[in-house]
Chains A and B, each alone.
Chain A
């Protein structure tokens, strides 16, 4: 049985902005967002496409850095870390689930799930045992040798979820996890995400444009034009 590392990470954003400059022109994606998410909380970020909701998720996931403002994991300020420090933190504390699955091509399901543990320097034996266990818990135990091209969308997303959980992260970030799936697979994936959240007590932040999905989470935050709706 895989044990939780304890309650999830709490997040705090203060006046976060993100401005992309494309060929000299400045395109603001986030125009000052302040938000606090408690450890173990499940938050849906909703908004229309281009509202900045994905950018917000990527900033929380330390894939990108804010142009200004501050970001905290618990009490630790994390918006100005070096690429290596961010990589270590992503590896230890964050699990990503993407809309287009993002499995590594020509690589088996098992190897994909092992990967976060590999970058931690876990010995191969231990890594494989753990990855197998996780694949089994998402119902993919009989497909560990399959590569992404041999799996359906729903199956790929399950492998991706197992990979996100492999490092027992305190924070799960899901970017439209059901966006590329038919409604039946979508429901299964959502159930899987929610049950894993319950089991591991991680903080879950999920970006979606689907209000139906958002209703399954404890709180909904609405983003419009780079700002949180309801804030000035």
Chain B
């Protein structure tokens, strides 16, 4: 312990050099902490938006897959219908609910303003499937759906753009010059994983959109919710079976639809961001190693410069082990304090990013501990050789060294 203090004391006798040497480790730790923090922030962002869609969600999109596996015109084909959604809803035991949906872009007008947004045609089951709630008012039911009623449920952003602070419920909006009565306001949902703001949207009955606005009979997508996360596989097989039957596609034929499970997408996204995190950490580790080499360099210089001091210590009775411990503690202290400062700097940096850009940058405490410990270990490893050289000096030659 005394020898460790001795090592630290001799660092204090050369403060500028000590600080400059620690700087390498400091920057290394800082970049590891900041880069992994940003990467895990990005991961959290993606996973959160996927979780927003509902973990039990299966998405059926029209389109076919070629023999090579490449998708041709995915999501643009017109092979899915509301009847397919109805079949999935009523015939799949592992599907709890399902809704067909179709979207288009349109101009929406209120007496005071107009706003260009997305019109989503959906079935009454859309809300429960998406696990989405209303902020105010109500949603349309089977009656409006069958009757192609001109009713609309507004997203948060649309409501405030068109009506400001006043209550839109019961008022009318014009969609493509046809009047729609506003019956509800959706609660805020934020960004979808595809980057679309889900609050900038107007929901109308699917039949209304199909016949009165777009003049089509297909749906763009069928959203289906499995009864539980562990039934997603079974639900996927059931949907596949029913749609093949309805579309007359043999079991070995190429389907004209594709089924994606949100949980799979989440897994893929998780894997991708893990790869990203590891990659960034690796890159940052290189600067950490450069910092370690800096310690090696300075310690070698220091041992050479203090050869006579080492000789004196040996003459007085320092054992080789004592010299080793002294120089090793110097290297350890340099890297430890550098790593601590780098860790603290990294935490501040991440907090700064969070404040400035609003990104979620969770402080990776475990990673931080690991990085600081790793950097200290690295310093000790790089200090080992100079310390060993110091301990192996011949006392007589060291004393004569000028």
Give the interface of A toward B (CB within 8 A).
58, 61, 63-64, 83-84, 87-88, 90-92, 96, 98, 102-106, 115-116, 118-121, 124, 163, 167
| Beta-carbon contact of B396 and A119 below 8 Å | no
Pick from A63, A84, A120, A167 the residue with the most CB of B within 10 Å: A63
Closest to B395 in A: A63
| Beta-carbon contact of A119 and B317 below 8 Å | yes
**A103 vs B314: C-alpha distance in the bound complex, in angstroms?**
13
**A96 vs B395: C-alpha distance in the bound complex, in angstroms?**
13
A-contact 0/1 string along B1-32, CB 8 Å cutoff: 01000100000010000000000000000000
Q: Choose from B309, B319, B394 the contact partner of A87 (Cβ within 8 Å).
A: B319
| Beta-carbon contact of B312 and A119 below 8 Å | no
| Beta-carbon contact of A87 and B320 below 8 Å | yes
* B318 close to chain A: CB less than 8 A: yes
**A63 vs B315: C-alpha distance in the bound complex, in angstroms?**
7
| Beta-carbon contact of B2 and A124 below 8 Å | yes
Query: Which residues of the partner chain B approach A106 to less than 8 Å between Cβ atoms?
Result: 13
Q: Size class of B's contact patch?
A: 20 to 34
Q: Taking the nearest CB of chain B, how far is it from the CB of A224, in angstroms?
A: 22
Pick from B6, B315, B319, B321 the residue with the most CB of A within 10 Å: B315
Q: List the 4 closest pairs (A to B, CB-CB), nearest first.
A: A91-B317, A87-B319, A119-B317, A64-B396
| Beta-carbon contact of B320 and A167 below 8 Å | no
- 18 A-B pairs within 8 Å (CB atoms) are namely A63-B395, A63-B399, A64-B395, A83-B319, A84-B319, A84-B320, A88-B317, A90-B316, A91-B317, A91-B318, A92-B317, A96-B315, A98-B399, A106-B13, A115-B316, A119-B318, A119-B319, A167-B317
**A98 vs B2: C-alpha distance in the bound complex, in angstroms?**
26
Closest to A83 in B: B320
| Beta-carbon contact of B399 and A120 below 8 Å | no
| Beta-carbon contact of B316 and A91 below 8 Å | yes
| Beta-carbon contact of B317 and A90 below 8 Å | yes
**A13 vs B394: C-alpha distance in the bound complex, in angstroms?**
22
**A209 vs B270: C-alpha distance in the bound complex, in angstroms?**
82
**A196 vs B218: C-alpha distance in the bound complex, in angstroms?**
110
| Beta-carbon contact of B317 and A116 below 8 Å | yes
A87-B399 contact in complex given A102-B312, A124-B2, C-beta closer than 8 Å: no
**A58 vs B314: C-alpha distance in the bound complex, in angstroms?**
13
Q: Taking the nearest CB of chain A, how far is it from the CB of B268, in angstroms?
A: 60
A105-B309 contact in complex given A58-B396, A118-B2, A119-B322, C-beta closer than 8 Å: yes
**A167 vs B317: C-alpha distance in the bound complex, in angstroms?**
10
Closest to B391 in A: A83
**A103 vs B313: C-alpha distance in the bound complex, in angstroms?**
10
Q: Choose from A64, A87, A88, A104 the contact partner of B312 (Cβ within 8 Å).
A: A104
**A96 vs B315: C-alpha distance in the bound complex, in angstroms?**
8
Closest to A102 in B: B312
**A92 vs B317: C-alpha distance in the bound complex, in angstroms?**
8
**A160 vs B321: C-alpha distance in the bound complex, in angstroms?**
24
Q: Taking the nearest CB of chain B, how far is it from the CB of A173, in angstroms?
A: 10
**A69 vs B13: C-alpha distance in the bound complex, in angstroms?**
44
